[in-house]
Amino acid sequence: MTSPASDQLYYVRSGKKVLGPFDTEQLQELRAGGRLRSTYEVSSDCENWRPVADVLDKPQTPAETGTTGTTPTGSWFYAYEGEQHGPITRIALRDLIAAGRLTANDLVWRDGMGEWTAIRDIADLREALPLPLSEAKLVRRAAAPGTRVGIGDAAIDFLADVFNESLLQLLARSLIAAGNWILLVLALAAAGMSLKEALDHSDALGLAMAAGILIGLTLLKTAGGSMATASQKLVDQSPSRLSSMAFPRAASLLILTASLALSAWQMARVAGDRNLAAQGYLLAAGSLLLGGLLAVMLINSRWLRIELSRDVTIGEEGLGLLALSAKLLVRSSAVFYGVGALIAAIGYAFGTVMVLTASSEISQNIGHGLQLVALLIAAGAALAPIFVYLLTSLVYIVIDALRAILSLSSHAAGDDESNPFSRETAT
């Protein structure tokens, strides 16, 4: 980038001290000598102060450099990584802003503007900036001015603040690590029980089964744990846009209600048949735990990489909801893995106690049944992240295809070759 012309005079402010005036060449010399810091501010009228970089690093406009050529009226140029790019359409520029490719401090210009201007200073482009989470809450509440915030909304806001992105990331890593250890211990315990029974009955097939359980669960644990970790990166690299968090909040309430209903049904089964107590309590606790975690994840927009924007179209909203479903599934793979392994371990422990302590054949058969169900749950918990990863990859292929179809009309007049982001993606 080239510096602006040096005929303009500027004042420099450091705290309460104001010095100057200086022309741009003098400012460049002061900065080169280390006397003009990036934290200082400059102004031409001592009223509107800007960072030093906004003046010294601002490029010449295309009109000043004579590079506008025969561009269509209304075309935009923007500065990115020290280079000028464009022309592109207004819609294409807003898409770059909404996607987070350009920030509020990046500079843009079009014919008729005197100089390069930050996006934050142009109302039409500023509206395309993604909303911070705190501002999104204010926008949602401002949709009905004068109304009170309900208890449900206040509770959801409280949970979203408590279970923030950092806590959820720690929870996901902890669940994956716990799942790895639990499945390893379960594999050793199950192999040990099979080995004991094989030795008690001199059964060669039992020895092979013990080895198979140990090797099989260990391999599933390794594959499931690695895929649960890798799948989280899919969400981190895949932001999506929604107009509000209304649907995710409603869906979280539905998930929580369904988990409560399922837990109540399991407790009712236990009340009708005490023989189902172990299974019923286990499934009831698992339902509450899974439902609660999924509900909390769904209301955290940053955790799901959801960007709230004011100008989302109906088509973009549909794609955003589809992406939301896929990302929730990916995020929940850590929950399925860790909680599933825990439920399997508890179930296997119950079954083992019944097998070792029961005096009747019926009780021992129930214990063996619990052990078998627990091993199946463990296998399912290990396989879940693998299937989720594959399914989400397919879903995002569909999302990218639909997004390309929706953007064809928007970018018809744009010059994609002037967009460095498209080149980055292609490479």
The mean-pLDDT minimum among 90-104, 125-139, 157-171, 354-368 falls in: 125-139
DSSP string covering 160-212: HHHS-HHHHHHHHHHHHHHHHHHHHHHHHHHHHHHHHHHHHTT-HHHHHHHHH
Q: Is the pLDDT of residue 410 over 80?
A: no
Q: Is the pLDDT of residue 122 over 80?
A: yes
Q: How confident is the model at residue 425 (pLDDT cuts 50, 70, 90)?
A: very low
Q: Measure the CA–CA gap between 328 and 249, rounded to whole angstroms.
A: 13
Most confident of 101-110, 371-380, 394-403: 371-380
Query: Which residues, in sequence order, are bridge partners of residue 83?
Result: 80
Q: Which two tokens stand for residue 176?
A: 């994956």
- pLDDT at 57 (0 to 100): 66
**In the 8-state DSSP scheme, what is residue 418?**
G
Q: Measure the CA–CA gap between 59 and 205, rounded to whole angstroms.
A: 78
Q: What is the mean pLDDT of residues 34-61?
A: 73
CA atoms lying within 13 Å on the CB side of residue 392: 26
Q: What is the mean pLDDT of residues 259-263?
A: 87
Domains and CATH numbers, the chain: 9-56 (3.30.1490), 70-126 (3.30.1490.40), 156-412 (no CATH)
Residue bearing the bigger pLDDT, 426 or 280: 280
- pLDDT at 423 (0 to 100): 42
Question: Whole-angstrom distance between the N-terminal and C-terminal Cα of the chain?
Answer: 25
CA atoms lying within 13 Å on the CB side of residue 192: 9
Q: Is the pLDDT of residue 133 over 50?
A: no
Residue bearing the bigger pLDDT, 314 or 62: 314
Q: Measure the CA–CA gap between 31 and 239, rounded to whole angstroms.
A: 38
Q: Whole-model pTM above 0.85?
A: no
Rg value, the chain, Cα? 30
CB-based contacts of 186-190 (< 8 A; 24+ apart in sequence): 186/217, 186/341, 186/344, 186/345, 186/348, 186/374, 186/375, 186/378, 187/213, 187/214, 187/216, 187/217, 187/218, 187/221, 188/214, 189/348, 189/352, 190/214, 190/217, 190/348, 190/371, 190/375
pLDDT digits (tens, 9 = 90+) for 282-314: 777 778 877 887 888 887 777 787 777 666 778
In terms of DSSP bridges, do strands 83-88 and 50-51 run parallel, antiparallel, or are they unpaired? unpaired
Strand ranges (E), 246-354: 306-308
Q: Which two tokens stand for residue 313?
A: 């179209």
Q: Measure the CA–CA gap between 307 and 181, rounded to whole angstroms.
A: 35
Classified as helix, coil or strand, 51 is strand
- pLDDT at 302 (0 to 100): 74
**In the 8-state DSSP scheme, what is residue 131?**
B
- pLDDT at 34 (0 to 100): 76
- pLDDT at 222 (0 to 100): 87
- pLDDT at 7 (0 to 100): 56
- pLDDT at 181 (0 to 100): 92
Q: For the chain, what is the mean pLDDT? A: 76
Q: Measure the CA–CA gap between 223 and 230, rounded to whole angstroms.
A: 11
CB burial readout 261-289, b (16+ within 10 A) else e: ebbeebeeebeeeeeeebbbbbbbbbbbb
Q: How confident is the model at residue 28 (pLDDT cuts 50, 70, 90)?
A: confident
Q: What is the mean pLDDT of residues 400-423?
A: 57
* Closest to 384 (Cα-Cα) out of 337, 314, 329, 325: 337
